[in-house]
Structures are given as structure tokens and as C-alpha cells.
Chains A and B, each alone.
Chain A
């Protein structure tokens, strides 16, 4: 036959939609394909054979395969922000306007200057990078790496924000079937008929697997028709979920599978609001792995020339896409699967110059088929070298009699046998085992709950796949608790799968590639063996065999066999490398899903958030919470000016701050007080109802865990507060103490953090403001409601509220709590009531400044290594009771008098700014670790005092008041003198807060 000029498309046939032409471009040139094409089939149809340049040597490369195992045909897809490097042309469904670019070539695919690397190849063998660029090490980052990256990189990322979104989802089923070839379709049908909930995941856009690429007869239908009929039957089952374009990429414990669905990759861009891809977590009671087998290339000279393809891929392009991969073929195979290649090519009108089979005797079936088609059979022969450069133009064939025959051709269809796709069976530590009858690794121990059917199991014939799929589908359903229903099996003609391994052509001339994607040739493996790399894992790292996007799907077994040959071992004794998820590449975006940018993690908003936004607040993240950090006013030049104003207002009149984020735990029960005694270092049984107390908790190792104020609301009712940061951790700890350590205590704990909108009001005018809000029947005078009083009140004419006379700022202060739904209303009422006193909202910065002025410890001091004593709170530790952490807090190291203790610091030069993180060194000593006496933890500019102040840990600090020491900050390159002072800078007698 003669192909039309510029086209290899057959005049009829294939599962493409010839009524829908699709325009696309490759390297800027326009082409046309049809709906149902892949980029690969459309390029082949347009006679585009040169698709990329190889990784290291920049050799011209074309397509080898038709599926996800393709090592060569990787392109950059789309443009601008959607540009995606390293996509496999065989997996890209053609869409109108598709743009693709070849990779790894400069300046152009046809004329690549770096193909000179091919001539330098003696220097680019295994381990080349390690050997050549060893020295000097300093040149790695600046010189070697950029050069290597440019020369040997794959595609380039767009560098722009991905405009699409990704989704993650969870799916539960009784039986997961992975792969929809004959075994998968049968397994899914059998499980579905039993009533099981089935998920059928297929990497391809259509169900059928090899049924689509082969031409077999099943129940009188063509294999593709039969696959379509089965697909329709499964679609009609209500509890079967078919996931097309979905690759199961990983197996995890507990019957969990990871899968990636390419929801919109077959479109120019996702339909409105649809995700680009969806990451599935599939939880299955049972799984049937019915993945395919992957055909092996043959290893001979220049076996990487465009036009040398896997025989199965040649059939797929022919039957599924109606594309002839060449017009004059040589079929070079070592197994009987090739029979169909010969007869089908001939039937399609492709002339076949020869069938070359290294076996001395070709099987009678194949012989007969070839004869019938008038094809020359060369038994006992092998292709030693392919001719041609950008496209194969002929082959040098060594005949059985030793003579060399050169035949012209534009296609070599090769088959070295089939490797069952065992990858998913190994993700939970299973190791494949060697099966010499098919000359391939087959699954060994498989993950719990998984069974393997069809060619993935090593049962390569169609009849076996059908029988096995049906029976394993039934077994899976039974194991998941259903009753099997027998169904009649479809009938198929048997076929031979006989094989005699040929791992390489011994007298090959020219480079014989094993791993096409990584440019690993036979010589590299031989060299690695010679240099002592005996473990397959070392071989992989040294030669890069089996790395990168295809993970050696076509290369690994050939590589192992050659390693075995060079080491004179049996292949089963060489072992395999560990295959880990993912089976095929997964974009990071898919793992992120919805959780990117502002949704990277959930945000927790306090009740006054909307109001704070209206005030123009600047926010800061505190764990999940978003809190107002400060409230800038127009004309303020920086945050310091704003914070200084806020502090001054609170200290001179009245300020208000949302403190709802503190953790709140309702603790009730007859033993509530006893429970608190055991978790806090201080006493609680003597706390009066209607009073609050500061408490400190330790971890069992004696280190401080958290602090906060707890109020006694009733005989058996306490209300605990925790720090914002530790709320969840404290709740978990208390549950541990109750459920595991002391289950006999009558205590109940309910988190009430979100129930209360709580505002701290501080400053001399606070009572004036509160009097306008608190209903008159509640007396909040100093006598009736003294410092540390607490109780239930009502506000604004009857709304339930709680009032606490607590002060973190050191001012006369109250915290007022109302149910959160009223929080927004209350802050507005507070602002209204305080207007005449110039009430000023303050944020976490001002809160921090005021607590430093008062010497209160907070997160920077509760740093996971400090003891109660270090915080100056050692006297709180009760000696009348046991509590968590008591015993180990008494360890010699934790009571060492030389431990650093919190004290205050001020700069000797009062104008100087000081910073947290500076370490304290005695004057006259070297600023070195052995002279380190502590470090600054918190600093603030104190508006009340007029200079910077700090808190920090200093060895024997309380004994050293007035001493001048060095504060050394090598990270910022600073050093200055500070004076050791009391940590309480403001109102040391505490008169204000009791006023």
C-alpha cells in the first residue's frame, strides 16, 4: 500500500472519530488529528517521528510505546501558566488547539547543537558526573550544576501560579479493580453481579486495556466491541463507579489506595469550576490488580532510532488509532505474541520485509501466518544494528549462517517479551519473584486484601485473563461479605505465549540502549559491574537506570538481566530494586488539593473579627487563629508608633482587646477539684467559689507545659483557661490524665473555647465603661468584686455574661465574656460605652508589651525547656500533694541553682534597641558557648518607661540585680551591654490592678 503524502493515517478503521477533526501544533507547526487520538497517535499520523532529544546524548528520539510506560515521547504541553513539562505524548488526549513543544533540544529539535554529546559519549558513561565534577567542590553550585542542568534537564516549569485547582476526595468500596483489560472487566463484572460496591479504575480514557489495541475475537465480537459492551454493562450497575483517566499510583496500609484522576487534562482548560485533577484516596475491603503487562524492548545497536517501536504499540496505533507506524516493517521478536503483529500489519497493507526471530526454530503457528502473508521469516537471526539517524532506514541482520543481511525499512516492531506490571504489589514490601516460563518477574507476596489477575500476574493469554478475572472478582466479593453469582465465561481462541529470552544482541554495533529515558546503555551496566556495583540499588544510582518520569518501566528487567549476565549470576539472584509509590507521576498540586494559598490550613476567626476588619486592624496568625495585631491610625508611621499609642491609652484611660482565643475548658464533677490538684502544681481545693486563680501545669518530665487562669464557678464546677497556642494539647493531656491515669475520678471535661466571646478591658476608666454595660443588679465595686473575683452576670439588659477580674496588663482590668453569637454586638457596645473615655482597641502587640512591662511569662518563656523555677514560679509548687511532673521536676539537673531564671534587662545605653535571641556573657569573657549564661526571650519598647526592656533567662539571675553583662547577638552581628533588673518594670507593687 502507499500512504498518502504526509500522513500515515489508514483510510478506515480505528476507534477515532473521523467526523471530528482536531487542530493542534507541535513545535509551532500546525497539524490535524481526530477526536480520540492521543498526541502521540496524531503525531505519528502526521508522519512526525522525531519527538525529542535524549537526556544525556541528545540523540534523536521517537515514540516507543503507546501507553504510560513511554520513555521518549515526553513533551511540554500547553503554554504560559498552564505549561507543563515532561508530559507523555502517549497519555495526552488530543483537544482542539493543543500546543506542545519538544524538550531537551537547542536551538531546535531537528538541529540540536548538544547532540555533539553523542561524540563525547566515552566521557559521559555511568558515574560521569561523580567522576568529572568532583573537584573543586565550590564549583558545584555555581558552575557545574547549572551547566549540567541546562544540558541534561528535562522540561522547564512555567514558574507562574497554576491557574487551575485540584481536588482531593475519598471513595469507599467493597472491591477495587485496578485496570480494565479483559481481567479487570471480568473481575468488576463478577464482583458487581454479587452485589458488591465496585470501583473500577482505568488509567486510559477508555475501558479495555489491550483489548483496544489488539484484534481478537471474543464471543464473536471484536475485542474493542466486547470491551465497549462490558463497559456499558458496568455503567448500568448502580453500585459500580468507573473512574476513567485514573491511575492507581500507590498502595497503603489498611486497604487504602492512592489514585490520580486527570479530570480535565483532556481539555484545553477545565470547564468552569471543575478541578484539573482529583486525588482519590480509595478505601477498599478487597482489590483485584488487573494492571497490564508492559512489553520489553530488545537491546541491539542503535535501538533508539525513531521508528523502532514496541510491537504491541505498533498494533495499538494500527487498531485503535488507524495509524500505520511505517510502510515497510521489520518485525524483530523473541516470542509468539509477535504472530499477531506480522499478520495484522500485513492485513493492514503494511509491507513486512522480514520477521526476525533469534530462536532457531520459529513456532509453527507464526511460521504459517508469515508464510500466508508472504513474509520472509529469518529464524535464528537478530538485528545487530539499526541504520538511519533521525529515522530508522534499515537494519543489519545477522543470519543463522553468520552472514550479514541489510534490509531497508522504516519501522522495526520489536518485542522482548512482557513484564507483568507488578509495581503495586510491592508497595507494602512485597518482592516480585522470577518466573522462567514467561521470562519475567511476577508478583510475590502481595499486599493484604489484594489479588492479581491476568497479565499482571503473569497469565499472559487472553483466555487466562478472562477466567482469572472472573474468579478473582468473585473471590473478592465473597471476602467482602457477598455471595458470588456464577456467570458464563466468554469464549476466545487460545494463543501461544512461548518465549526465549534475548537480553541483548551480543555483537551489536552502535549504542544499545537499555534505559531510553536516562540514556543508559549496555556499556554503562557493564562498566558499573566492573567498577564493583553489585547491588541493584547501587546500579540504579550509579547508572541512573530506572529513574526519572518513567521509573524504568521498559528498562528495569532488561537492566537486571544484563547485570546478572555480567555478574554471572541467575537473574533471580540479582534481585530487584524497591518500587515505591507513585507508580506514575503525581503533581504536587494534586496532593495539596483545596489547601493552597489562603486555604493552606484552616483559619480560625475570633468573634470580633469582622469588627476588627472594619477598624483596619493588621492581623497576625496565632496557631490557627487570626488575631488583631494592632490597629493603625492614619498618619502613624510604623507599627511601633501604633502599639505605643495603644499601650498608653490602656495605661492612661481604657483599652479593649479580644481574648476569646484563649482555650477554655469546662471541668465538672465531684472530683473536679481533686483533678485540678493533680494536673496543676498549685492548690485548688481551697479556692472559693466565685474566685479565679493562676495555675501552672507541668509535663511529666518536670518541664512547664502551660499556664492560665482557672475559675471556680461551683463546688464541682471549674472553668479553666489555657494559652491560645496550647488549647488542644492541654485538652488532650487532661483527657489522658482522666481516661488513662485516673479513670476512677468523677470528672467531666468539655471544651468551651468557642462558646465565649471574651474581651479584656484594661485601664483606670474600665469600671466607668463597664457600669454602662453590666446590668445594675450586679455590684462590680472593688469591695464586692475584688481582684481575682469572677462570676455570672448579665449585660445590656439581660444577656448572660461572665465577668472576671483578671489582669495580664497590670492595669485595673476585667475580662467580660458573652456567648459568641453576641461577641460582635458586645464589642460595638463596649466601644460605644467607652467613647467618652477614648477607649482604644489594642492588639496582640500591645498585649505583649504590657505583659513584658509586668514581667509575665508567655510563649517565649514557656519554651519547652523551662521549669517552674526557671520562670520564677517555683514557690507555686505545692509540697502537700502529688501532681504531674512533680517527681521529675525534682531531678538534680532541674533544681540546679545555676539554672537560668527569668529576670528583666534594660540597655545600659537607654536609647538602644535590644532584641530577643541575644545571649548573655559576662564582661571580660569570650563570647563563646562555654561562657553562655542565658538568653533574651522577649523584648519590647516600653511606652510607660520610655526605653527598650527585655525578659530573659540568666543563670542565677535573681542574685545578680544591677550587674552589667554583655548581650551578644552574633546572628545579627550586634553586641551591647545590659543591666540585670527585676522582671517587673511597671507598678511593681501591683497597686493599679487592685484599685
Chain B
């Protein structure tokens, strides 16, 4: 598999480290049900067939965290965005993950 890093270009899979679901959001630790929310955040994962949004780390490259949209059946990649920009824009627009 190859991933096109938005900073470094098209690179082989072995430069990257996979983390997991990019659609979960760290809960507000102050909320009253924080414990339950964190259990969901850390452990509960959907496993849908088809497209995933997932976090990858360009370990052997620019050290950027990336949000990769990938079909887990075919490994087709539909988009790669810098996680920092995704996160910042979500914070400014208030968009939910």
C-alpha cells in the first residue's frame, strides 16, 4: 500500500504507523459522565466495511499525523489530510467528528 503524504508525497506503507479511528473525539474530562465517555473513546470502535477515516503517523517522514480516508476492503485511498489542520478546522467550525 502507498500513502500520499500531503507534505512529502507518495510513500510506501513502511514509512507510516497506523493508529486507528479518526472519528472519535477526546471527551471533555469535566463532563459529569466523563468516565463512561472516556471508556467509549478509548475502547469502543465501529468496524464498518468500506470507507474509514483513520489516523496514520508519517514516522519515517515529516512526523505529521495524517487523517487517511481508506476503503478497508480494497485499500483504495480517497484522501489524506494533515491531522493538525483537520483538528484546527474542526475546532474553529465546531464541526463534530
Are A and B in contact, CB atoms below 8 Å, in the complex? Answer: yes
**Contacts from A to B (Cβ < 8 Å):** 170, 252-256, 281, 283, 428, 448, 700-701, 728, 731-732, 735-736, 738-741, 743-744, 882, 886-888, 890-891
Q: Nearest B residue to A256 by beta-carbon distance? A: B2
Q: List 24 A-B contacts (CB under 8 A).
A: A253-B1, A253-B2, A254-B75, A255-B2, A256-B1, A281-B12, A283-B2, A728-B59, A732-B17, A736-B55, A736-B65, A739-B82, A739-B83, A739-B87, A740-B65, A740-B84, A741-B87, A743-B84, A744-B88, A882-B29, A886-B29, A887-B35, A887-B38, A890-B35
Q: Is the beta-carbon distance between A732 and B1 smaller than 8 angstroms?
A: no
- Identify which of residues 11-46 in chain B touch chain A, using a CB-to-CB cut-off of 8 Å: 12-13, 17, 19, 26, 29-30, 34-35, 38-39, 41-43
Known: A253-B2, A886-B29. A701 touches B42 (CB 8 A): yes
Q: Is the beta-carbon distance between B1 and A254 smaller than 8 angstroms?
A: yes
Q: Is B63 an interface residue when CB atoms closer than 8 A count as contact?
A: yes
**A740-B86 Cα distance, complex, nearest whole Å:** 8
Contact of A740 among B12, B38, B55 (CB under 8 A): B55
What chain B residues lie within 8 Å of A887 (beta carbons)?
Answer: 29, 34-35, 38
B73 to chain A, nearest CB (A): 9
B24 to chain A, nearest CB (A): 11
Q: Is the beta-carbon distance between A448 and B76 smaller than 8 angstroms?
A: yes
Q: Is the beta-carbon distance between B12 and A256 smaller than 8 angstroms?
A: yes
Known: A256-B2, A743-B91, A886-B29. A736 touches B57 (CB 8 A): yes
What chain A residues lie within 8 Å of B63 (beta carbons)?
Answer: 731-732, 735
Q: Which 5 residue pairs spanning A and B have beta carbons closest together?
A: A254-B2, A253-B1, A739-B84, A253-B75, A882-B29
Q: Is the interface of B mostly helix, strand, loop or mixed?
A: mixed
**A255-B77 Cα distance, complex, nearest whole Å:** 13
Interface centre among B34, B57, B65 (most CB of A within 10 A): B65
Q: How many residues on the B side are at the interface (Cβ–Cβ under 8 A)?
A: 31
Q: Nearest A residue to B3 by beta-carbon distance? A: A254
**A886-B29 Cα distance, complex, nearest whole Å:** 9
What chain B residues lie within 8 Å of A886 (beta carbons)?
Answer: 29
**Contacts from B to A (Cβ < 8 Å):** 1-2, 12-13, 17, 19, 26, 29-30, 34-35, 38-39, 41-43, 55, 57, 59, 63-65, 74-76, 82-84, 87-88, 91
Q: Is the interface of A mostly helix, strand, loop or mixed?
A: mixed
Interface centre among A740, A744, A891 (most CB of B within 10 A): A740
| Inter-chain pairs besides A254-B12, A735-B57, A740-B83, 5 sampled, C-beta below 8 Å | A254-B13, A283-B12, A732-B57, A736-B55, A882-B30
Q: Nearest B residue to A428 by beta-carbon distance? A: B74
A678 to chain B, nearest CB (A): 10
Contact of A888 among B17, B35, B82 (CB under 8 A): B35
A299 to chain B, nearest CB (A): 38
What chain A residues lie within 8 Å of B2 (beta carbons)?
Answer: 253-256, 283
Contact of B19 among A253, A281, A701, A736 (CB under 8 A): A736
Q: Nearest B residue to A729 by beta-carbon distance? A: B17
B39 to chain A, nearest CB (A): 7
What chain A residues lie within 8 Å of B29 (beta carbons)?
Answer: 882, 886-887
B60 to chain A, nearest CB (A): 11
Q: Is the beta-carbon distance between B65 and A888 smaller than 8 angstroms?
A: no
A720 to chain B, nearest CB (A): 16
Interface centre among A253, A739, A744, A888 (most CB of B within 10 A): A739
Q: Is the beta-carbon distance between A891 and B35 smaller than 8 angstroms?
A: yes
